[in-house]
Amino acid sequence: MKKHLIFLMMLASISNSYAQKQGTSAMGSQEFQGMAVYETKTSAPDMKSRFSGNREITPEMQKSIEERMKKMLEKTFILNFDKASSIYKEDEKLDTPGQNNGGFRMMSSMMGGGGTYYKNVKEKTFAVDKEFMGKEFLIKDTLPKLQWKLEGETKKIGDYTCYKATAVKKVVQSDFRNFRQKKQEETKDKKEEKTEEKKTNFMDDFEMPKEVNVIAWYTPEIPVNQGPEGYWGLPGLILEVSDDKTVILCSKIVLNSKEKTSIKAPTKGKVVTQKEYDEIVTTKMEEMKEQFRRGGGRPGIRIGN
């Protein structure tokens, strides 16, 4: 009886070891692939103060602007990933009639939407296609490496145990989700300027920070060096990440589905670096702001050749 019991224990131990090896082998295999759905939400700037006293903005226009702003700041993305690479793309909904215009698409892109974000964590490179003012760009550059600090806190996200990590991230100057209102004392002097100039140039009350604090939650239970957007570099899939304005939270995970997704970098658009694209966007926005300030009407949208 005793020998029989020892034999069963040895058999169970061997079976358990084999199962663990099989699981590790599956994660390490080139065939391994996963899919994660992320819900993103960005805090909207206070626009009511900008509408107050402006007779050009009717209540109907104000409501329409607020609805469009909400749509641009609340999005759903899908991340398809393997051990080395991933693609992160917005799960685009059908636009309601009248909203699918160039200006709305441009602002949506500047608020983190549109295009395909490809990153290869093995080669430490990324590529993302963006449309800005009717022109297609292909941003290709080196993945920014955050200096993650691993914390001791844990929490559950779905069925996964996640660990906290923090970092300071340099802000991408063409990502307008990071726009914030200047402090009251910074805009006090400007309030004494011409009322008409204030109405047409509300962007003077906003600024772009140089860096933001980032909090991420990753799970070693899915040991891939991946995450949403440009986030990576932790010992497990990042299921939640937040900075000063935006929260990205994973709502669904599927591993090793029978249906495989082609994980390839986008190829269309004028190739530029991240710095070059930021300069194009910020320069054009400054031109638009100056033209509106001078009462020049709708600015031109020609960019390059």
- Give tens-digit pLDDT for 119-128: 999 999 999 9
Low-confidence ranges of the chain (pLDDT < 70): 1-30, 44-57, 62-67, 69-71, 93-114, 179-206, 292, 294-305
The pLDDT score that the predictor gives to residue 7 is: 41
Structure-token pair, residue 284: 């054009």
What is the DSSP secondary-structure string of 74-111? EEEEEEEE-SSEEEEEE-PPPPPTT---HHHHHHHHHT
The pLDDT score that the predictor gives to residue 22 is: 40
Q: Are 169 and 303 in contact (CB under 8 A)?
A: no
The pLDDT score that the predictor gives to residue 14 is: 35
Which pTM value belongs to this model?
A: 0.74
Helices 102-110 and 59-73: crossing angle, nearest 10°?
50
Q: Are 114 and 130 in contact (CB under 8 A)?
A: yes
Closest CA to 52 of 202, 207, 203, 204: 202
